[in-house]
């Protein structure tokens, strides 16, 4: 007899059927247990083949991002941003979008385990029921400890509160490796967090912050930032970045300063000095680091620029930098008069924020003391994602009664006595607050595929309730967030996915001056380097490591896939006499990390950047043996910059081959990705200088124009390089929408990745300190398409509405089209990449898009399925179709609205208005391809006082 | 028996200009026939050894082709941007080799070059086998080879035709036509010799087999008359194909707009290169054969000298093409073109292959300015082998270096052949050897009837006959 916890086809279909019934088929014979509601319109009945969208939210490191999830016949197939949610504004980041694949991951845990033996949820609830547990942990729960991921969920808060009444002495801890309370600690003891209005800032100085691509509100900040760059002639902002690594934000900056953390502090001290000297009440800064930046022209120019814009300027500190940096930054913002205008503070919505007794160090201490009998870890992976020196795994093994509730049987599951599969957020009810406190609802789209349990269910079980009703609890919890008790308000809240107007209030807080007196960071001694432990843009802290989409997504900066590396600058590499792929030994405090070196221009000297999240040893197949486990070297919780790390080349001839999707960084004097300064651009507009980028007008030619296409819509796309930050959200969106397969490390190394849309990244200027331009590159849908005339079997043809179409059924796979494509955007199915998908992975596929077989060519279709769907629904409704009703997947995911799609025939559309700018150009249009995709050259806004532009 | 065919007078020790005969000695027709048919009746130890080796090669080809078809061409090293590599290189190389046969038998027949008669059979056979190899690759390299017939214009129920704007369907047409005509031409030339074999066959089974293929040839005057007309007509048909086939093959590249492919010189450049490599292959096969079957009297220094002179001419024309191509890239002032020709090829990741190509194709034929070297079999053999390698490298350079660094620097990527790529190349050489060894074993490798008529011609015109 099959184990009932196994997901069989039958049980999935049962779950699926239930979900559909719940979604709308109330008239069905099956009596719905609960009801979830679609986002905008609730169909009278579910029409097969018509997708339904539901609002929900994903929680990452405690904060919610509002999402809209597309479901086909009850199975979620695509994750998009919720346009009304403050953390999303319609965009979705790479992690949010890729979490869809996590839902269907066949490696997810499927059964409850006790010790080494299979068990059941019933046994777990019995063993953990108050009756049984009181025997172990005492009547007041002294020996009971809970470890949760950081959370802002009112639901969990109330569940914890009721558990607390049962066990008054139990202790609750929160941990995620990347959540640092450094910024909170820097401000007050009450856990305050800074909030920014990037759109209001004319001049921004970011010190080690990747605010455009990481952090809970990055999608919002990226939009606000881009809105000030969309029309460069009116109110363009200016961004300075001082950083150690090379971040997405750094690549977008107008001026970038490479510096190590100690230099950052010195820089901020000097800045504060300069600003304070000019202000009415100069104030001495205690505890200076001794390094002097005051004479640096960079600093002088930045300080002048910031001061010139007064309250409309902003200084941002990296979330995980030392408390002192945050104190300095807060003081700078105060001195600029920006506090209250471009930056203000709120209490952190995270439970237990700012309280030291809820953090991992406190738990480690308690575990060390041996007072904990029962430790229940819900989510996360602390056995892996803690500094190896902490010895958490060993301590967890010694806990007499431990339980882990997780998506995977990972390292922590291995060290725990009990294991219970967790429900994915698309399978469970929940809630959370966004970074600004907006109350967001996590609505399930399917019943748990593998019988997973949510955190609330586990907490209820601990409290003795055997059959928790998370939905009812949710409804109750939402009352506190301002949802009225009536069914209509509740339905409206579910449809919207959040409660508007629920952000937490601003507080008036000043920086704690005593933090300025905390010891300054020291710079590395000779012979050692500084190591920055950083979040990985793809697998985050390792919790997304088993996700093929993310493993194969090229890192936005290094273009590395399926790996991590020690990123070093070319000059550091020269000094250490290493080349790309040499295996390094990084040593500190008796711990050694073996990690290959990857040389990346633009990294600070004598520093190495390493990313968390690799070198996993759990039961996840995809994550196994990928990269190096950086946690092994990480010395202390919360310390993300570590100086004094000794580095040497590993003995022997070890060489590591990376799978990198772009190996050539320069443009070799070509001009595919164009950029110019604001001054030049302004002069061109006034007619002072000759036009830089040629316009989109047809070039001189003796040939007839391409045949006039008769359809009322002529599809085209405009991409603004000025607002593209290279975050790669569009790449994942395209992968998800268009059923693009994951090919694996070996094939990426052979340059066989299948992404229809890639982000090209070019570097200009000196190798040490380059400027970057990112360029989304996809099928250009050329009117004179070079691919079309060489195909011997007419498998690629032009549609009347101007699409370059690929007919998979007709393709025999000569690959002549790819050879003749000057943009090299066509992708070939070298193997049958879809042959070995598990049943659940197949469910992640978009039913509107063909899954391609081995041996055929494929490429961007301009999301033709979306075009045709819109045409059909317009025709059914008997109304004309507006081209801008259609959004391609990449456009929809883009946080900065850099991509716009539309019809050439609609002069008043956003897409066409953008084409009127003189910075419009077609890539390689000199070949006569007449591409339908046009680019707007990037406009940089350098400070004229920093002549060299960096 | 062969002793009778040995020269009756010794050849001069120091040959002077115009002194090499096209044939030595004055053997009788019967002696000639016996000598030339001898390899058909018994196989030497060397033959068995080579045959065993080439059979292994053929099995390797069979295995790797099966593997490729079952798993996908991902088993090769190809990628995006280098979507074509070894397979198309091999295709163009083999097609090129297949040019010499028709060039020697048809082109030179029409030009009344008498010396062709002694070597045309080998050249034609080589053409057929090279084409068999060549034809394998365009099918094998397809993503879905089972649909290869979609490239052929046939009345499909869906009313879909191949795209006649693409060079590929023309390619298919050109190669199939060439193969058909070459096969017919070869077979027609064989008929009288098959009849001779039938008449001399020692066993009944062989007599029957040769008899079937001889199609009732009796050697009557009537038959000879029809035969001659048909042969010349076929030659007239085949001659333009020598020019057209490789011109069409070159269009596979020159209709594309890729720097390194997009060039108007390609058709003549490819034809010249094809004949060049074909002649090299003829020499490579003829020299050992001449020794093994003791054909020194029939394939004389005059033949070697003529082939070497042709190779020198072709080598010079090829060099001219190289120069012009590179000059035009510079003259165009196009960044991408200049990069491909002036940076990527000579100094890029495949620079070694580029310089091997240049040295072997440009420098080695210069040896043939010297008369002594033109008849030195060791020099000829080594130079031919070198030219064949060089010509393979040329196709590799044209295909791979144009693709691996094209317009957008972001998509540049290296191509590294996989073990399957190498095995298929080795296997196709094996198949070629396999077919050729079967040919020399079962078919007269010198056109006996041609040689006999040449002998009579020479006897009637003493000026041409040298010491005969």
Spatial distance between the Cα atoms of A443 and A546, rounded to a whole number of angstroms: 24
Spatial distance between the Cα atoms of A494 and A497, rounded to a whole number of angstroms: 5
Residue A444 in contact with residue A404, Cβ under 8 Å?
no
**Per-residue tokens: A402:** 């431990």
Chain A closest CA to B419's CA: distance in Å?
Answer: 14
- Residue A74 Ramachandran class (φ > 0 left, ψ -120 to 50 alpha, else beta): left
Spatial distance between the Cα atoms of A860 and A262, rounded to a whole number of angstroms: 46
Of A373, A396, A376, give the one whose Cα is nearest residue A384: A396
Spatial distance between the Cα atoms of A828 and A856, rounded to a whole number of angstroms: 6
State how beta strands A607-611 and A528-534 pair: parallel
| HSE (side-chain half, CA atoms, 13 Å) at A287 | 16
Chain A closest CA to B337's CA: distance in Å?
Answer: 12
| B338 at interface of A, judged by CB pairs closer than 8 A | no
From A811, A832, A927, residue closest to B257, measured CB to CB? A927
pLDDT at A520: 64
Q: What percent of chain B has pLDDT over 70?
A: 94
State how beta strands A63-72 and A52-60 pair: antiparallel
**Per-residue tokens: A688:** 């002072």
Of B463, B458, B370, B460, give the one whose Cα is nearest residue B22: B458
From B143, B169, B410, residue closest to A813, measured CB to CB? B143
pLDDT at A190: 65
From A663, A824, A832, residue closest to B80, measured CB to CB? A824
> Do residue B256 and residue A790 have CB atoms under 8 angstroms apart?
yes
Helix B167-200 with B29-41: angle, nearest 10 deg: 110
What fold characterizes domain B22-456? Answer: Formate dehydrogenase/DMSO reductase fold (1.20.1630)
3-state secondary structure of A943: coil
> Do residue A815 and residue B165 have CB atoms under 8 angstroms apart?
no
> Do residue B72 and residue A830 have CB atoms under 8 angstroms apart?
yes
Element (H, E) at A78: strand A75-81
Q: Which residue positions in chain A have pLDDT lower than 70?
A: 1-47, 181-190, 278-295, 509-527, 653, 687-701, 703-709, 947-950
Spatial distance between the Cα atoms of B177 and B131, rounded to a whole number of angstroms: 11
pLDDT at A926: 86
Chain A closest CA to B170's CA: distance in Å?
Answer: 9
pLDDT at A18: 61
B7-35 average pLDDT score: 66
Phi and psi for A7 in degrees, rounded to 5? -90, 110
3-state secondary structure of B146: helix
Q: What is the CATH number of domain A675-686+715-940?
A: 3.30.70.20
Mean confidence (pLDDT) of chain B: 88
What fold characterizes domain A192-347? Answer: Dimethylsulfoxide Reductase; domain 2 (3.40.228)
On chain A, the residues whose CB falls within 8 A of the CB of B412 are 663-664
Centroid of chain to Cα A163: 34
pLDDT at B295: 86
Chain A closest CA to B265's CA: distance in Å?
Answer: 19
| B19 at interface of A, judged by CB pairs closer than 8 A | no
> Do residue A857 and residue B151 have CB atoms under 8 angstroms apart?
no
B256-270 average pLDDT score: 92
Of A92, A86, A42, give the one whose Cα is nearest residue A67: A92
pLDDT at B107: 80
| HSE (side-chain half, CA atoms, 13 Å) at B168 | 31
Chain B closest CA to A667's CA: distance in Å?
Answer: 6
Give the number of A-B residue pairs with CB atoms closer than 8 Å.
167
> Do residue B168 and residue A790 have CB atoms under 8 angstroms apart?
yes
Helix B221-254 with B266-292: angle, nearest 10 deg: 130
Q: Which residue of B has its CA nearest to A927?
A: B257
Residue A784 in contact with residue A778, Cβ under 8 Å?
no
From A669, A751, A791, residue closest to B79, measured CB to CB? A751
Q: Where are the beta strands (DSSP E) in A152-254?
A: 171-174, 192-196, 203-207, 238-243
On chain A, the residues whose CB falls within 8 A of the CB of B73 are 813, 830, 855
Spatial distance between the Cα atoms of B97 and B283, rounded to a whole number of angstroms: 11
pLDDT at A692: 45
Question: Rounded to 5 degrees, what angle do the CA atoms B246, B250, B255 make?
Answer: 145
Chain B closest CA to A651's CA: distance in Å?
Answer: 28
Q: Is the pTM of this model over 0.95?
A: no
State how beta strands A591-599 and A566-568 pair: parallel
pLDDT above 90: residue B267: yes
pLDDT at A440: 92
From B163, B409, B414, residue closest to A792, measured CB to CB? B163
Instruction: Count CB neighbours of B380 within 10 A.
Output: 24
3-state secondary structure of A585: strand
Chain A closest CA to B318's CA: distance in Å?
Answer: 25
Give me the residue label for tokens 């992976």. A381
**Per-residue tokens: A734:** 């395209």
What contacts A744, CB < 8 A, 6 or more positions away? A552, A562
**Per-residue tokens: A174:** 């929160």
**Bigger pLDDT: A278 vs B25:** B25
Spatial distance between the Cα atoms of B358 and B249, rounded to a whole number of angstroms: 22
Listed range (A578-582, A838-842, B18-22, B360-364) with the worst mean pLDDT: B18-22
Of A461, A459, A470, A466, give the one whose Cα is nearest residue A377: A459
On chain A, the residues whose CB falls within 8 A of the CB of B81 are 751, 818-819, 824
Instruction: Count CB neighbours of A728 within 10 A.
Output: 26
> Do residue A814 and residue B258 have CB atoms under 8 angstroms apart?
no
| HSE (side-chain half, CA atoms, 13 Å) at A284 | 4
On chain B, the residues whose CB falls within 8 A of the CB of A672 are 407-410
**Bigger pLDDT: A525 vs B161:** B161
**Bigger pLDDT: B112 vs B417:** B417
Phi and psi for B379 in degrees, rounded to 5? -60, -45
State how beta strands A675-677 and A938-940 pair: parallel
Using the CB atoms, write b or e for A900-932: b if 16+ within 10 Å. Answer: bbbbbbbeebebbebbebbbbbbbbbebbbbbb
Chain B closest CA to A792's CA: distance in Å?
Answer: 5
| Longest distance between any two alpha carbons in chain B, whole Å | 72
Spatial distance between the Cα atoms of B60 and A6, rounded to a whole number of angstroms: 45
Give me the residue label for tokens 């902002």. A237
B421-438 average pLDDT score: 96
Phi and psi for A370 in degrees, rounded to 5? 80, 15
The complex's ipTM?
Answer: 0.91
Where are chain A's structural domains? 192-347, 528-660, 675-686+715-940
DSSP β-bridge partners for residue A717: A901, A933
Q: What is the CATH number of domain A528-660?
A: 2.40.40.20
Chain B closest CA to A812's CA: distance in Å?
Answer: 5
> Do residue A857 and residue B143 have CB atoms under 8 angstroms apart?
yes
Q: Which residue of B has its CA nearest to A672?
A: B408
On chain A, the residues whose CB falls within 8 A of the CB of B74 are 747, 752, 830-831
Chain B closest CA to A556's CA: distance in Å?
Answer: 14
Q: Which residue of A has its CA nearest to B339?
A: A668
Q: Let me know if A153 is exposed, middle or buried by CB neighbors in 10 A (0-12, 13-18, 19+).
A: buried
**Per-residue tokens: A147:** 């470890």
> Do residue A855 and residue B144 have CB atoms under 8 angstroms apart?
yes
Kindly state the DSSP code that residue A559 receives in the 8-state scheme: -
From A751, A760, A814, residue closest to B142, measured CB to CB? A814
| B255 at interface of A, judged by CB pairs closer than 8 A | yes
| B74 at interface of A, judged by CB pairs closer than 8 A | yes
| Cis bond before residue B30 (omega within 30° of 0) | no
pLDDT at A820: 94
Q: Which residue of A has its CA nearest to B171?
A: A792
> Do residue B408 and residue A832 have CB atoms under 8 angstroms apart?
no
Q: Which B residues in the span 96-115 are in contact with A, Cβ-Cβ below 8 Å?
A: none
3-state secondary structure of B396: helix
**Per-residue tokens: A942:** 């350098």
Listed range (A127-141, B198-212, B373-387) with the worst mean pLDDT: A127-141
Instruction: Count CB neighbours of A5 within 10 A.
Output: 18
What contacts A625, CB < 8 A, 6 or more positions away? none
| B442 at interface of A, judged by CB pairs closer than 8 A | no
On chain B, the residues whose CB falls within 8 A of the CB of A820 are 256-258
On chain A, the residues whose CB falls within 8 A of the CB of B150 are 792-793, 810, 812
Of A86, A346, A298, give the one whose Cα is nearest residue A195: A346
């Amino acid at each position: 007899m099959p184990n009932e916890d196994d997901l069989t086809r039958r049980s999935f279909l049962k779950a699926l059927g239930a979900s559909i019934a719940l979604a709308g088929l109330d008239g069905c014979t099956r009596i719905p247990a609960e009801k979830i509601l679609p986002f905008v319109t609730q169909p009278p009945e579910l029409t097969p083949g018509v997708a339904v969208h539901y609002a929900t939210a994903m929680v990452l490191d405690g904060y919610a991002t509002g999402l809209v999830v597309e479901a086909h016949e009850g199975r979620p197939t695509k994750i998009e941003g919720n346009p009304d949610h403050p953390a999303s504004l319609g965009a979705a980041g790479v992690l949010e979008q890729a979490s869809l694949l996590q839902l269907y991951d066949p490696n997810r845990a499927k059964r409850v385990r006790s010790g080494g033996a299979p068990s059941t949820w019933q046994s777990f609830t019995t063993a953990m029921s108050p009756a049984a547990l009181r025997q172990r942990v005492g009547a007041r729960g002294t020996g009971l400890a809970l470890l949760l991921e950081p959370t802002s969920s009112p639901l969990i808060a109330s569940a914890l509160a009721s558990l607390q009444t049962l066990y008054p002495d139990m202790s609750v801890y929160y941990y995620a490796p990347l959540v640092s309370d450094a910024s909170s600690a820097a401000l007050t003891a009450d856990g305050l967090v800074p909030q920014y209005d990037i759109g209001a800032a004319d001049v921004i100085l970011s010190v080690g912050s990747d605010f455009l691509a990481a952090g809970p509100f990055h999608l919002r900040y990226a939009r606000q930032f881009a809105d000030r760059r969309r029309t460069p002639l009116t109110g363009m902002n200016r961004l300075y970045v001082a950083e150690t690594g090379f971040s997405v934000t750094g690549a977008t900056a107008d001026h970038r300063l490479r510096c190590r953390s100690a230099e950052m502090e010195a820089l901020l001290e000097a800045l504060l000095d300069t600003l304070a000297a000019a202000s009415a009440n100069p104030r001495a800064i205690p505890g200076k680091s001794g390094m002097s930046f005051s004479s640096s022209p960079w600093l002088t120019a930045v300080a002048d620029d910031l001061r010139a814009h007064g309250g409309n300027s902003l200084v941002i500190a990296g979330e995980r930098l030392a408390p002192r940096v945050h104190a300095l930054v807060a003081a700078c913002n105060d001195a600029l008069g920006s506090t209250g205008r471009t930056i203000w503070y709120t209490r952190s919505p995270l439970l237990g924020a700012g309280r030291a007794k809820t953090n991992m160090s406190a738990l480690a201490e308690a575990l060390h003391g041996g007072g904990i009998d029962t430790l229940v870890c819900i989510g996360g992976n602390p056995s892996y994602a803690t500094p190896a020196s902490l010895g958490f795994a060993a301590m967890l093994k010694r806990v007499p009664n431990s339980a882990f509730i997780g998506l995977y049987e990972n390292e922590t599951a291995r060290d725990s006595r009990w294991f219970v599969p967790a429900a994915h957020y698309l399978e469970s009810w929940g809630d959370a607050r966004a970074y600004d406190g907006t109350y967001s609802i996590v609505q399930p789209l399917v019943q748990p595929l593998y019988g997973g349990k949510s955190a609330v269910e586990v907490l209820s079980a601990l409290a003795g309730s055997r059959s928790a009703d998370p939905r009812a609890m949710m409804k109750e919890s939402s009352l506190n967030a301002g949802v009225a008790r009536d069914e209509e308000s509740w339905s409206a809240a579910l449809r919207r996915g959040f409660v508007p107007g629920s952000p937490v209030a601003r507080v008036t807080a000043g920086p704690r001056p005593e933090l300025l007196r905390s010891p300054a960071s020291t710079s590395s001694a000779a012979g050692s380097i500084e190591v920055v432990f950083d979040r990985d843009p793809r697998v985050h802290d390792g919790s997304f490591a088993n996700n093929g989409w993310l493993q194969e997504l090229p890192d936005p900066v290094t273009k590395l896939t399926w790996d991590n590396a020690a990123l070093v600058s070319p000059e550091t590499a020269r000094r250490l006499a290493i080349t790309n792929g040499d295996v390094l030994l990084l040593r500190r405090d008796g711990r050694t990390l073996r990690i290959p070196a990857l040389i990346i221009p633009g990294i600070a000297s004598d520093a190495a950047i390493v990313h968390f999240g690799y070198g996993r040893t759990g039961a996840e197949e995809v994550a196994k043996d990928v990269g190096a486990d950086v946690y092994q070297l990480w010395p202390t919780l919360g310390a993300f910059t570590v100086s004094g790390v000794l580095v040497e080349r590993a003995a022997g001839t070890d060489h590591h081959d990376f799978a990198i999707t772009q190996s050539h960084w320069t443009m070799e004097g070509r001009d595919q990705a164009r950029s110019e300064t604001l001054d030049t651009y302004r002069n061109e507009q006034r007619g002072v200088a000759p036009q830089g980028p040629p316009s989109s007008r047809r070039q001189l030619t003796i040939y007839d124009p391409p045949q006039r296409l008769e359809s009322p819509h002529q599809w085209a796309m405009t991409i603004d390089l000025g607002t593209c930050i290279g975050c790669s959200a569009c790449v994942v969106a395209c992968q998800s929408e268009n059923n693009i397969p994951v090919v694996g490390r070996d094939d990426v190394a052979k340059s066989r990745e299948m992404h229809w849309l890639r982000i090209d990244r070019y570097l200009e200027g000196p190798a040490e300190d380059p400027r970057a331009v990112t360029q989304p590159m996809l099928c250009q849908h050329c009117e004179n398409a070079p691919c079309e005339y060489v195909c011997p079997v007419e498998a690629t043809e032009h549609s009347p509405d101007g699409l370059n179409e690929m007919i998979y059924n007709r393709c025999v796979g000569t690959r002549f089209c790819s050879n003749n494509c000057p943009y090299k955007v066509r992708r070939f199915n070298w193997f049958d990449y879809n042959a070995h998908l598990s049943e659940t992975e197949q469910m992640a596929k978009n039913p509107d898009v063909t899954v391609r077989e081995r041996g055929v060519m494929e490429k961007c279709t301009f999301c033709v399925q979306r075009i045709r769907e819109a045409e059909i629904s317009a025709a059914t409704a008997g109304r004309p179709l507006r081209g801008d009703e259609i959004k391609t997947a990449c456009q929809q995911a883009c946080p900065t609205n850099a991509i716009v799609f539309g019809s050439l025939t609609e002069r008043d559309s956003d897409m066409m208005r953008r084409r009127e700018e003189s910075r419009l150009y077609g890539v390689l249009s000199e070949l006569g391809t007449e591409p339908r995709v046009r680019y707007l050259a990037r406009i940089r806004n350098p400070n004229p006082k920093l002549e060299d532009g960096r | 028996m062969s002793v009778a065919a040995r020269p009756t007078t010794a050849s001069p020790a120091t040959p002077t200009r115009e002194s090499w005969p096209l044939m030595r000695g004055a053997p009788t027709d019967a002696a000639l026939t016996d000598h030339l048919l001898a390899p058909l009746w018994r196989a030497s130890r060397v033959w068995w050894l080579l045959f065993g080796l080439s059979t292994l090669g053929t099995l390797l080809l069979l295995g790797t082709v099966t593997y490729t078809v079952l798993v996908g061409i991902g088993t090769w090293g190809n990628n995006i941007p280098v979507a074509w590599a070894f397979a198309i290189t091999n295709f163009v190389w083999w097609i090129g080799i297949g040019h010499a046969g028709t060039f020697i038998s048809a082109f030179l027949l029409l030009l009344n070059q008498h010396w062709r008669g002694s070597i045309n059979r080998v050249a034609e056979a080589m053409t057929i086998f090279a084409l068999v190899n060549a034809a394998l690759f365009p099918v094998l390299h397809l993503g879905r080879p089972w649909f290869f017939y979609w490239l052929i214009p046939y009345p499909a129920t869906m009313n879909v035709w191949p795209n006649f704007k693409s060079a590929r369907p023309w390619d298919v047409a050109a190669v199939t036509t060439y193969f058909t005509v070459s096969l017919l031409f070869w077979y027609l030339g064989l008929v009288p010799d098959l009849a001779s074999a039938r008449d001399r066959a020692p066993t009944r089974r062989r007599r029957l087999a040769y008899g079937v293929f001889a199609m009732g040839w009796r050697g009557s005057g009537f038959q000879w008359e029809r035969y001659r007309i048909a042969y010349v007509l076929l030659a007239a048909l085949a001659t333009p194909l020598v020019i057209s086939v490789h011109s069409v093959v070159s269009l596979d590249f020159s209709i594309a707009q890729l720097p390194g492919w997009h060039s108007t010189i390609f058709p003549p450049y490819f034809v010249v290169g094809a004949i060049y490599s074909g002649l090299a292959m003829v020499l490579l096969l003829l020299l050992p054969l001449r020794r093994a079957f003791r054909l020194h009297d029939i394939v004389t220094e005059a033949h070697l000298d003529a082939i070497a002179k042709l190779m020198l001419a072709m080598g010079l024309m090829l060099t001219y093409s190289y120069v012009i191509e590179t000059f035009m890239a510079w003259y165009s002032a196009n960044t991408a073109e200049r990069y491909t020709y002036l940076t990527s090829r000579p100094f890029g990741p495949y620079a070694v292959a580029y310089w091997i190509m240049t040295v072997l194709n440009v420098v080695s034929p210069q040896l043939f300015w010297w008369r002594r070297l033109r008849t030195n079999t060791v020099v000829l053999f080594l130079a031919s082998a070198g030219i064949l390698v060089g010509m393979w490298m040329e196709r590799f350079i044209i295909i791979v270096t144009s693709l691996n660094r094209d317009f957008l620097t972001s998509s540049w990527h290296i191509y590294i052949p996989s073990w399957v790529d190498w095995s298929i190349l080795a296997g196709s050489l094996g198949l070629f050897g396999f077919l050729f060894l079967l040919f020399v074993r079962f078919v007269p490798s010198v056109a006996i009837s041609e040689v006999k008529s040449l002998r009579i011609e020479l006897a009637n015109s003493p000026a041409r006959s040298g010491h005969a």
